[in-house]
Amino acid sequence: MAEEKSKRRAIITPPACAMFVYVWEPRESMNEGQPAQYSISLLFKKTEDISALRRAAKAAAVEKFGDKARGLKDPFRDVDELETPVPGYKGGVFITAKSKTRPGIVDADLQAITDPMDFYPGCICRASVTAWPFDKKGSKGVTFLLNNIQKVKDGTRLDGKKSAEEEFDAIGDGDDDNDPLA
């Protein structure tokens, strides 16, 4: 087993659009009896080179299932199958990475991000993930474990949420003439 785990290495993904971001609080499992997990979906443009992720997924499948590595649940999904299209990602793919523990999140300068308003659905990030085979309750395939995340840059928020600074206009210096309640 120790030898099996030593073959699996973390991979840093290419830049991706963060979607379905559950990295601040774990998301309750849809499967009864399963623990809550942290997770994130990473959307890759069709022009992005994700060959290292594909190789890692294939290697994990062959390592676990050998010659029976065909017909397994694929961790790569078509972005075009999402209910709400994401501009700029037509023809792309996405993966979901999960963890039982909260991932570390840093910015482009490696400074810790602690405010959920600074890491959100729509920002551009990279993630450290590990391909991991599974065989649970008749479902077999490969998934990705989430290690850590690096925000590369801001992007268009997919959740529509605004910061307080964006939501309000300045009222003034407290002068009664500008007081909306006076």
pLDDT in tens, 99-126: 999 999 999 999 999 999 999 999 999 9
| Residue 77 to residue 12: CA distance in whole angstroms | 19
Q: What is the pLDDT of residue 166?
A: 77
Q: Residue 59 sits in which domain range?
A: 2-178
Q: What is the pLDDT of residue 4?
A: 47
Which residues are CB-neighbours of 14 under 8 A, at least 6 positions away?
44, 48, 49, 50, 126
This prediction has a pTM of 0.83
What total number of domains does the chain contain?
A: 1
| Residue 18 to residue 122: CA distance in whole angstroms | 5
| Residue 150 to residue 127: CA distance in whole angstroms | 6
Is the Cβ–Cβ distance between 19 and 158 less than 8 Å?
yes
Q: What is the pLDDT of residue 1?
A: 41
Give the Å distances, CA to CA, from 133 to 11, 62, 66, 141, 173.
15, 9, 11, 6, 60
Question: Residue 122 — left, alpha, or beta (φ > 0 → left; ψ -120 to 50 → alpha)?
Answer: left
56: three-class secondary structure by DSSP:
helix
CATH number reported for the structural domain that contains residue 53 in this entry? 2.40.50.140
Which positions of the chain have pLDDT values less than 70? 1-8, 69, 173-182
Give the Å distances, CA to CA, from 80 to 40, 66, 163.
18, 31, 29
Q: What is the pLDDT of residue 5?
A: 47
